[in-house]
Structure formats: C-alpha cells, structure tokens
Structure 1
Amino acid sequence: MSPDVDLTTPPPGPHPLRERLLAADCRLFEAVAARRWPGGDPLLPLLSRAANHGVLWFAAAASLAATKSPRARRAAVRGVASLALASATINTLGKRSVRRPRPVLDPVPAVRRLKRQPITTSFPSGHSASAAAFAAGVALESRGWGAAVAPLAAAVAVSRVYTGVHFPSDVLAGAALGAGAAFAVRGLVPTRDALPTPGRPQQDAPALPDGTGLVVVVNKGAATSDRVRDLQDALPGAETVECEPSEVPAELQRAAARARVLGVCGGDGTVNAAAGVALRNDLPLAVLPGGTLNHFALDLGVEDAQDTVGALQRGEAVRVDVGRFSSGATHGCFLNTCSLGVYPELVRERERWSHRIGGWPAGVLAALRVLRADRHPLSVELGGTTRPLWLLFAGNGTYHHMGLAPGRRYDLADGRLDVRVVHGGRRPAVRLLAAAVAGPLTRSPAHAAVAVRRLRLDCVAPGTPLAYDGEVTDVQGEVTLDKLPQALTVYRPLST
C-alpha cells in the first residue's frame, strides 16, 4: 500500500449547501402539487401543451404582426429570434450538461398530469426558456407589448411545475437562460432605443394641441385608413384632404397656401413631393407613414399616428438635410436615396407589375428580370476618368450596415452623401451581392463606398434613368448630386 494514502481522512461527502438547496427544491415542488389553484387544473396543463415546440409563441408572433404596427412587427421578429437562440442553447448544451431526472409524479394529482410525459432530462426547462426568451425579446422592442405577453409567459413557466414535469429550479434556470438569449440577440441586432443617439439638431416649431393650422394631404393609393382616423380623432382641428396619387402634387400646392403646418400621409414618393413643397413655402412638415415603404419616417423615428400626433401637440421638431440632383433642366430633391444603373430599371420594372401582383412580389420579379437580362454597364465620367458602373447609389446621410442592404440612418443632418458604386463586370448579380454584404465605406476591385458632400458625373448617356425615393426620371450629360444642409424642419417626438 502506498505510504501517500492517508486512511484517517474520510472520503468527501455531499456538499451541505447543495443538499439543502435540492431539499428546498423538492419541498417547494411538493407544496405546489399539494395546493389546489382555482382554475389551474383545466388551464395550466392546456397552456403547457400549447407551448410545445413553440407553437403558442409562433401564434403570438403572428398576432403581433397582424396588427400592422411596425413596432409590433419588430417585437414579434425579435421574440421569435430570441426563442430560437434559447431553444438551440437548451437542446445542445443545457440538457446535456446536467442530466437531472424528472420529478416523481406521485404527489401530483392525475388531473394535472400531461398525457404525454417528456423523456428528456429535467434541467433546465426548455418551455420556460422559450417563454422567457419570447417575452423578453418582445419587451426589449416594445414595453407595452412585452407587458401584454409577460403574464402568458409566466403562466407557461408555472405550468411546468404545476403539471409535475419540472422542479422549480429547472424553471428558474430556464427562464434565466431565455432572458439571456433575448439580451444576446439585442447585442447582435440592437433595438432602436439601444442605437446611438441621433445627432439631429432640434428646431422650434408651432405646437398644435388640437391640430388647428395643420393640413394633411393623404395619398389614397398608399395611405393606411386607420392611421388617418387616429390622427383625426386626436387632432380634430386638423384638415385632411384625400386624393388620388396623380392629384397629390396639385393638392400639396393648394394645401401649402392655407396651412401653418403641411402634413402628408403616404409612402416615400409622396413624402418626397411634400418635402419639395414645404421647402419652397418655408413650412414645417409633419409625416404620417402610410405607404409600403416608409424609410424616411422610420429613420426619423416616426412609426405611427401616435408619434406624429405627440410631436405636433408638443411642437417637437428637428432639422434634416435634403439631397439634390440636377441634370440640365431636370432637377429634384431626395430624402432617402438617389441612384443610377440597374436600380432605376428595377424600379420601373416593379411599377409595371405592382398593380397586378402586389408590391413585394413585383419587386422580386423585377430583380430577377433585370439581373438576368443581357445588358451593359452604365458608362460615366467620374473625376476625369470614364468608368463602367452597374450601380451608383447616393444616400442622404450615412446608412449603417445591417444585413444584405443599407440599413438605417442614425443622423439625418450629417451633411454627407453616402456614395457607393458597383464597378462594371461580366456578372452584375454577384458584384451587387458582394457590395451589399461588404457594407459602407469599403473598397475592392468590384465596389467602393465613400462619404462626400458633392458629386459630379459627366458624359451620362441621354435617357439614362435616375431613381430618387422610389420615383424615376431621365437624365443626360452632366449629373450633379449635392446637399441642402438642415434645410427642412420635420416634426419628430424628441423622446424617441
């Protein structure tokens, strides 16, 4: 026998603290089993089963998305993403790390027990992780919707103990992991309140408590009727003028003649037209998003009628830059983007089909048709050198990269044009995708991105299409892009 072995030292026994915690866990489980909760027997087992495979939460996400509120839709997407991460973590690491057996069902009344008992290990609770992840994800994006979802998530977590399939500590650990997954998703894709504070300068604007002095031109082809009703209910003194898309420019001009504040409800093209009228008449602009795409409103921080109404009532506004393009007698402004190359062709192709099959399907079809067509790159003279380009994109302000396309702007008054070009080559689709993945302020043989205050292009072929805020016009010869710094006053809730 080795002399190094000390027979007088007893082998290590169970850890006292761990044993006390496990004993307390079992006592709490038995206390829940022994107590009869009013309404719990029919409801909690049903909730527990409904949450199998995340079905309950996918249904909740669909219900949020059906509200058509941008904030609710983002909350639904964030909730599902958080659930997916939590579920993947539990199933790959959690269940395999601590192989704890399920509780003994003897203390649990038969009426509460699930018809199909789970066969996986008990720690941690996957149902609780999914519930907490979804609820926390929704709450991080929208506190109001998070408060609505939280009681349901808590009930699902409690049901796992009530039906006897988990110890209380399994549920607590699962909930902690689920909440952690939601915060991890926020770390990868920040919520709007976690993004950098916009550097937009504040501007004094008329406060309209009941809307008197506000004239809102509503594009009937793009507007969302419930948002218009919400604005009318909150601002009874406001005047609303509904018109067909072709009548919008004339109605905007007439509205500007009698308005103290010019309002507009529609998509980016309609807002662009209103911005031009507001600039010419030195009027502040109030934007109510109502189209398929509302990039300017969302980057401004205006998502629905509540945001617009609150800013108008309190007189909260900011100054924003306005981009300009000119080519001979052709000129205009843009609040979002201006582009040459394949994108204007895509816009025209989309407009040909949108009234037949809808906006999003038409966009997909247009992209396929444009990128598959046998075409040559655009030829322009830039800085004294003739260059073939598949695409030239100029953003009114720096777009920050989020995904496969320019994402959103933090600052609408930074004085910069975010210019990106995709150089000509044999495979435009591959080059366009590579440029989108690379993001802003990069250079490669296929694409480049820079921030400038002014850009001049020469030798542009006659009839070359130029797209601006979803509209298309033709240019030729010299094309100049520049900025009007902080030229437009727009209402925006400053607390957003």
Structure 2
Amino acid sequence: MDIRRRRRGIQQIGKGLGTLDREIFEAIAESPSPLLDAVMPRLTAAADHSKLWFAIAAGLGVVGTKRMRRGALRGVATLGVTSLVTNQVAKRAWRRQRPNISTVPIIRRSLRMPTSNSLPSGHSASAAAFAIGVGLESPSVGLGLSLLAGMVGISRVATGAHYPGDVLAGFGLGAAIAVVGSRIVPPIVETRLPTADPLLVKTAKRPDGEGVILVINPASGSGTGARVIDEVREALPRTEIVELTPDDDVEAVMRDAAGRADVLAVGGGDGTVSCAAGIALDTGKPLAVFPGGTFNHFAKDIGCDTVERTAQAIRDGSVSCVDVVRLNDTGTIINTASIGDYPAFVRTREKLEHKIGKPLAGAYALFHTLRHNAPVRIEYDNKVLDTSLFFVGNSVYLPSGFAPSHRSRMDDGLIDVRILETGKPLARTRVLTALALGRLVRSPLYHEMRVPEFSFKAIDGPTPVAHDGEVEMTLDEATFSVRYRALPVFRPLAG
C-alpha cells in the first residue's frame, strides 16, 4: 500500500507540474506584446543551428583577451558535446509532443516548427552550455552570455516551439555538461598571490638615451635584432649600440659595456639577457631589456614586449627591482632552469601551440617526452626519485601543472619547483591518464613547491642543467637560491 501511495503521489505531482507548464505556456502565448512579436522570432532564428553562439565565439577569438579566447574554445566544445547528447540521447529518452501553437499569434510563430520531441529544448541546452563554458574561463563575459541564453530560452516559449519545462530541462542539461567538462579539463584560474608593492628605484630620466649602452646581436631572433637596432636609434638617438659578431666573447663585451655605461641594455634571446643580468648584478648597473630574441619571455614578463615600451621606460626613468635566482652562487637565472627532458618538452610544445593551441600541444609534448624519456635519478629533501621533467622557475609561474606560461609578479621571493616522477610502476600510463582527466596537479606523481631555496643531487653522476634556453653546465649537485629584488630593471610602472 505504501508503495502504491507513493507512486500515486508522484503521478499526481507530475500531472500538476504538467498542468502548470501548459498554463504558463498559454499565458505567454496569449499575451499581446509588440515587443515579443518583433524580437522573439528573430532571436530564436539566430540561435538555429547555434549560429548565434558560433558568431560570438568567432568574435571573441578575434578581438578577445586570452581568457576570452579560452572561453570561446571551451564554450564551442561544450556546445558540441551538449548538442550530441541532447539530440541523440535526451530527446529519445523522453517523449513529449510539441505545444499546440494555435494560441500563438501568427506573426510570432517560428517559420520552421521542429518535429522532434519537445523535451528537452535543444536551443536552451546549447545556449546554457556555451554561456557557462565561456563563463568558466571569463566570468564577466559569461554573465552577459547567460542573460542572452535566458532570452533565447524565453524565445522558444514565446514562438510556440517549447513548453517552459522543456526550456528549464535544456538549461539544466547544458549546465550539467559544462560543469562535468570543467571537472575533466579544469579552467585556468588566474591566481593573484598577495605580495608587497613594487620596489621602485629613483633613476634619472634619459629622454634621448644618454648614458645607455646597448649590446645586441643583429642576427638574433631571425633578424629581429637588426629591426631593434633601427628602432632604438630612432627612439633613443644618443644610445651607444654595440653589435655582436659570431666571434665575440659575449660576456667580455657585456662587461666592457657595463664598465662604461650608466645603463646596461641588452637585446637578444633569454640566454643573452641572463648573461647581461648577471653582469648588471655584479656591477650594480640597472638593466634595460629590448625584445630582440625569438620568444622574449623575460622582456614580456616585465612589460617590455616592444622596443617602444622599453624606450619609454628609459625616457621616464622608470625602474623597479625584480628577483633573480642564483645557481650554485655563480650562475644567474632570470626565467627557468631544468634537467631531464624538460627543454625538449618546451620546444615541442612551442612548435605546435600556435597550430593546435597550448593545451593540446602540451598534452602531445608530454606524451612524446615520456615516450622517449631518459629519467634522471635525483635526491632532494630526503627523497629519491626518477624524473624526466624537472622545472625551476624564477618567481611563481601560472597556471599550476606542467604547462606554466607566465608570471603575474617577478618579485615574490620564491622559486617555483615542479617535478614529474616517472620511476613508479605504470608511471607513464598514470601520468597520461591524469593529464587526460585534468587531474595532473592532484596526481601523487606530480610535485609542486614554492620555496626560497631548493637543492638536489644527481644520484647516478653529473647531469646537464639547462637554464634560460641554454645548456651550459653538467652538475652532480645544484642549489637554487633567490636574490630577492636584487636586479633593477627599466619597465613601465604598470608592468
């Protein structure tokens, strides 16, 4: 009896909700409204076949920020999965006839009334999936799109295509798929760590570059160096420019320039900039960096991604201090250092990321590196492990995981250490599975630390240590320590 009563109660609730659903539909359908008549048919037609969402995604991809472009990509991917699940699974699982459109004004009706099952609303599911997908990466844009998605849902009721319950079910399905997608491939969260205010240094303004000596290789960056020379001569005409040749001893030329200059400037790849940074530290001269290399990671992270931005900082006397990392108290690291196959991982990822995007490029690079790895056995903090990917960064890099791409600050006094352990049983399979599920940062094989000092010992003998894009030394022990705010650099005040 109890079971029958429960079933009867559930059936009565279902009938009541169905009746309420139809009454709300009829109330909207019978409401005379020139605004509904003019707007709703156009809006629902724009959302047919997701044309509206694809157009918005294309716009975000062209003019949006990095977060917006990531959101557009996630939104389109979520929309695709949702459309497949809605049309091939959900609409076949629940059968419900479309509303009777006789009460809907003719001017408001859709030109093409769908013939598939009414529950759930495919337009609403796709709208929610796209809006929430974008919002997971860019909340401000996602909020606006959520309002638009809501209007699309209302348009499906106003034009007679769906009952309100169909729309709500579609919203729920699209939102659920977006949330599940965020668990599989977590969105990138731009974490801002609490830090002290920048340490500014009073420096004379140099409107024409007087006292600045620029050391640069004209051939660096596949000819970028030559362009930088021309732009510096125009922007800072009194700057002395020393052009490097293949036969020059770069360090010797840098030291000579630093001895004569008030400001040591450098243009070239990050390896050359690292050399200049060490000499600037030793001589107590402020450093100016012009983006003359291929990737210019350091220049971009200090806000000097163009010649004009560096030149303006020199003209304004805008100097603040950033951290550097010392390797065994002699080497200078401005970006990253690594052992094992991390340099090969980065080269593979950067080669492909402009073609297929950084997430896919990073996944392929990780798979390729693990497949061809030569593990290095190291000891640190009383632990011994095998690693194929070992990364040390100057200041904290974002995001977490094994695809760090940028720094929000360069004066936090920390070293970013990331180690991927590959010596455990089925390590390769476990790492790749964790990567595919978006759980690499939670894997027991992934180790991430943010510390002021870090040391390791290579158990099986000396191992190559690369830093700032160069393989310069082979070490059996290495100690990395922060020189907190030790390097004054010219950079925009907002950088």
The interval holding the TM-score normalised by the smaller chain is 0.5 to 0.7
1:57-206 equivalent positions in 2, closer than 5 A: 57-67=53-63, 69-80=65-76, 83=79, 101-106=97-102, 107-109=104-106, 112-115=109-112, 117-123=114-120, 125-139=121-135, 141-142=137-138, 145=141, 153=149, 156-167=152-163, 170-171=166-167, 174-175=170-171, 189=186, 192=189, 195=191, 197-205=192-200
Query: Following the alignment from structure 1 to structure 2, what is the Cα–Cα distance between the partners of residues 431 and 406?
Result: 21
Given the superposition, is the C-alpha separation of residues 35 and 339 from structure 1 closer, same or farther in structure 2, using an over 3 Å criterion?
closer
Shift of 1:81: 5.4
Deviations along 1:76-104, one digit per CA (max 9) or x if unpaired, are 13433554676588679976898653221
Query: What is residue 3 of structure 1 aligned with on the other side?
Result: none
Query: Following the alignment from structure 2 to structure 1, what is the Cα–Cα distance between the partners of residues 16 and 448?
Result: 63
Question: Secondary structure of 2:198's match?
Answer: strand
In the alignment, structure 1 residue 325 sits paired with structure 2 residue 327: yes
Shift of 1:221: 5.1
Given the superposition, is the C-alpha separation of residues 379 and 98 from structure 1 closer, same or farther in structure 2, using an over 3 Å criterion?
closer
Query: Which AA in structure 1 matches 2:327?
Result: F
Deviations along 1:101-145, one digit per CA (max 9) or x if unpaired, are 32212235389534361412245x331232244234435544675
Shift of 1:422: 3.3
Deviations along 1:168-207, one digit per CA (max 9) or x if unpaired, are 56446645765677677678835645x4x41222114379
Shift of 1:66: 4.1
Query: What is residue 466 of structure 1 aligned with on the other side?
Result: 465
Given the superposition, is the C-alpha separation of residues 371 and 404 from structure 1 closer, same or farther in structure 2, using an over 3 Å criterion?
closer
Given the superposition, is the C-alpha separation of residues 121 and 379 from structure 1 closer, same or farther in structure 2, using an over 3 Å criterion?
closer
Query: Following the alignment from structure 2 to structure 1, what is the Cα–Cα distance between the partners of residues 200 and 138?
Result: 28
- Taking structure 1 as the reference length, the TM-score comes to 0.60
Deviations along 1:216-265, one digit per CA (max 9) or x if unpaired, are 99986598xxxx9xxx9xxx9899x9999999x8999989998989798x
Question: Secondary structure of 2:421's match?
Answer: strand
1:347-386 equivalent positions in 2, closer than 5 A: 377-378=375-376
1:181-260 equivalent positions in 2, closer than 5 A: 189=186, 192=189, 195=191, 197-205=192-200
Shift of 1:48: 3.3
Query: What is residue 26 of structure 1 aligned with on the other side?
Result: 26
In the alignment, structure 1 residue 457 sits paired with structure 2 residue 453: no
Shift of 1:29: 2.0
1:328-343 equivalent positions in 2, closer than 5 A: 331-335=331-335, 337-343=336-342
Query: Following the alignment from structure 1 to structure 2, what is the Cα–Cα distance between the partners of residues 435 and 190?
Result: 15
Shift of 1:450: 5.8
Given the superposition, is the C-alpha separation of residues 245 and 366 from structure 1 closer, same or farther in structure 2, using an over 3 Å criterion?
farther
- Taking structure 2 as the reference length, the TM-score comes to 0.60
Give the % identical residues: 30
Any gaps of 5 or more consecutive residues in structure 2? Answer: 1-11
Query: Which AA in structure 2 matches 1:71?
Result: R
Given the superposition, is the C-alpha separation of residues 168 and 268 from structure 1 closer, same or farther in structure 2, using an over 3 Å criterion?
farther
Given the superposition, is the C-alpha separation of residues 393 and 100 from structure 1 closer, same or farther in structure 2, using an over 3 Å criterion?
same
Question: Secondary structure of 2:73's match?
Answer: helix
Query: Following the alignment from structure 2 to structure 1, what is the Cα–Cα distance between the partners of residues 277 and 142?
Result: 36
Shift of 1:165: 0.8
Question: Secondary structure of 1:31's match?
Answer: coil
Question: Secondary structure of 1:165's match?
Answer: coil
Query: Does the 8 Å contact 2:327/2:480 carry over to 1?
Result: yes
Query: Following the alignment from structure 2 to structure 1, what is the Cα–Cα distance between the partners of residues 456 and 14?
Result: 78
Which moves more between the two structures, 357-366 or 71-80?
A: 357-366
Shift of 1:472: 3.0
Shift of 1:455: 0.8
Shift of 1:418: 1.9
Which moves more between the two structures, 88-97 or 19-28?
A: 88-97
Query: Which AA in structure 1 matches 2:392?
Result: A
Given the superposition, is the C-alpha separation of residues 99 and 430 from structure 1 closer, same or farther in structure 2, using an over 3 Å criterion?
closer
1:224-303 equivalent positions in 2, closer than 5 A: 283=286
Query: Following the alignment from structure 2 to structure 1, what is the Cα–Cα distance between the partners of residues 146 and 206?
Result: 36
Given the superposition, is the C-alpha separation of residues 343 and 159 from structure 1 closer, same or farther in structure 2, using an over 3 Å criterion?
same
- Residue-pair matches, total: 450
Shift of 1:372: 5.2
Query: Following the alignment from structure 2 to structure 1, what is the Cα–Cα distance between the partners of residues 144 and 38?
Result: 22
Shift of 1:474: 3.5
Query: Which AA in structure 2 matches 1:201?
Result: A
Query: Following the alignment from structure 1 to structure 2, what is the Cα–Cα distance between the partners of residues 420 and 427?
Result: 17
Question: Secondary structure of 1:113's match?
Answer: coil
Question: Secondary structure of 2:123's match?
Answer: helix
Any gaps of 5 or more consecutive residues in structure 1? Answer: 1-11
Query: Does the 8 Å contact 1:256/1:277 carry over to 2?
Result: no
Shift of 1:270: 7.8
Which moves more between the two structures, 338-347 or 452-461?
A: 452-461
Given the superposition, is the C-alpha separation of residues 24 and 252 from structure 1 closer, same or farther in structure 2, using an over 3 Å criterion?
farther
Query: Following the alignment from structure 1 to structure 2, what is the Cα–Cα distance between the partners of residues 244 and 67?
Result: 38
Shift of 1:331: 2.5
Query: Following the alignment from structure 2 to structure 1, what is the Cα–Cα distance between the partners of residues 91 and 263?
Result: 64
Given the superposition, is the C-alpha separation of residues 314 and 368 from structure 1 closer, same or farther in structure 2, using an over 3 Å criterion?
same
Given the superposition, is the C-alpha separation of residues 370 and 297 from structure 1 closer, same or farther in structure 2, using an over 3 Å criterion?
same
Query: Which AA in structure 2 matches 1:323?
Result: V
Query: Does the 8 Å contact 1:401/1:439 carry over to 2?
Result: no
